[in-house]
Amino acid sequence: MSPDGDPLLSVEAAQAHAVAPVRSTGVERVGVGEALGRVLGEEVRAPADVPPHDNSAMDGYAVRAADLAAGRLELTVIGEVAAGYVALRALGAGEAYQIMTGAPIPPGADAVVMVESTERTGDRVRIGKPAQAGEHIRGRGEDIRAGAVVLGRGVTLGPAELGVLASVRRARVLVARRPMVAVLATGDELRDVDEPLDPGAIPDTNSYALAALVRAAGGVPCVAPIVRDDPARIRAAIEAARSADLIVSSGGVSVGEHDHVKAVLAELGAELSLWRVNMKPGKPVAIARLGDVPYFGLPGNPVSSMVSFLLFVRPAIRTALGCAQPFDLPRVQVVLDGPVRARGERRSYLRARVQAGADGHLHATVMPHQGSHVLTSMVGANGLVILEPGTHDLAAGAAATALLIGSV
């Protein structure tokens, strides 16, 4: 229980609440060259075999294996086949074609001898060793068979996936429409980056960090002007944001006299699922549904806001996109490079740098300053080391679990 009597939900229970009200954003058709990072909204099948014909895996000579097996190691070269061209006629007994990598295998040939095993004189080529049928030949359909499902709905399209789409001649594909995510930063103390800092003011970092996280998750951020700690202004900002697919605010969800977001949501008829999570940083997280629009009220402290986003808002955006795995941040086992100390009985997420060690294990170096206000602790951090409640001290060399939030 929290100090004011409200129960603290587990992270897993809060994540279930976070994705429950989220609905698909629908699909749109885009050119394959514009689809990097998009989520596939359809199942893609191959209309034909890939590759479409048997082709050479080597530069060399296309031959009949039977000729070489019979001891005929000197053959007549009747032409050349380059990639993108076909042989003028079928190969006969005692004949060979010079062939380049990727070129179609001529009719009658059933093997390729690489050029390093040959000696050419005029139109004669001497083969240094016998060849087996099928040697150095890439078979038709070896990569993809006609009718096969090559990519399923919900796959995030990376460079390899775009290459596969091109290989099955899909110039345009259906992808999930990117959800529009309204981003609201609340607080009398906030000033935009180009505004002077009068006494007591601080820069608005959350608008920029959260907008970037929205883009990284696959959404389109719609950043509102800073919202002052006034119920009427907060209400107006939330009302204006209701045309978005999701709303994310930062600040105003704790128990202070100037924390008005929860009260305003209640006035607007929002259905509040939870507002306290058993985690550190980021305990005050309000997850609600405002009509059909999911609402996420994140803490104002910048690290708490970013960690809460990664745990709750990112999966919601990925769910709206129809991702096959909306909880796509991997968990890995790491070895701690230094001692770690955690305080309190909530699950802790410690910012860390995870790297591959020479011993074959992943190693984690926890950032020295873990305060929820220390935004620089997120710089260079590609993992969150997870310490369960009751875990206080871990020695260097101890094993731990980390959530990867960046590439290793």
Strand ranges in 32-123 using DSSP code E only, listed in sequence order:
44-45, 55-56, 60-63, 74-81, 95-99, 111-114, 118-121
Please give the class, per CATH, of domain 11-26+177-320: alpha beta
By the 10 Å C-beta count (0-12 exposed, 13-18 middle, 19+ buried), 193 is classed as: exposed
pLDDT for the residue 258 = 60
Question: How many other CB atoms are there within 10 angstroms of residue 121's CB atom?
Answer: 9
Structure tokens at 238: 């939330």
pTM of the complete model: 0.89
pLDDT for the residue 3 = 40
pLDDT for the residue 2 = 43
Pairing of strands 383-387, 399-404: antiparallel
Domain ranges of the chain: 11-26+177-320, 27-47+149-176, 55-138, 331-404
Quickly tell me which residue has 């976070």 as its tokens.
18
By the 10 Å C-beta count (0-12 exposed, 13-18 middle, 19+ buried), 379 is classed as: exposed
Name 40's bridge partners: 175
Pairing of strands 293-298, 246-250: parallel
Structure tokens at 397: 């060399």
Find out whether 80 and 97 touch, Cβ atoms under 8 Å. yes
Sign of CA dihedral 209, 210, 212, 216: positive
Buried b (16+ CB within 10 A) or exposed e, 218-227: bbebbbbebb
CATH superfamily membership of 27-47+149-176: Molybdopterin biosynthesis moea protein, domain 2 (3.90.105.10)
Q: How far apart are CA 270 and CA 283, in angstroms?
A: 20
CATH superfamily membership of 331-404: MoeA, C-terminal, domain IV (2.40.340.10)
The parts of the chain modelled with pLDDT lower than 50 are 1-4
Q: How far apart are CA 394 and CA 387, in angstroms?
A: 9
Q: How far apart are CA 164 and CA 156, in angstroms?
A: 13
Per-residue model confidence as pLDDT tens digits over 203-212: 999 999 999 9
Phi and psi torsions of 327, nearest 5°: -90, 75
Please give the class, per CATH, of domain 55-138: mainly beta
Per-residue model confidence as pLDDT tens digits over 273-302: 888 899 999 889 999 999 999 999 999 999
Structure tokens at 74: 């000197």
The DSSP result for 137-186, as a single string, is EEPTTSSB-TT-EEE-TT-B--HHHHHHHHHTT-SEEEEEPPPEEEEEEB
| All residues at 6 or more sequence positions from 85 whose CB lies less than 8 Å from its CB, including other chains | 103, 104
Strand order in the sheet with 293-298: 220-223, 180-185, 246-250, 293-298, 284-290, 271-276
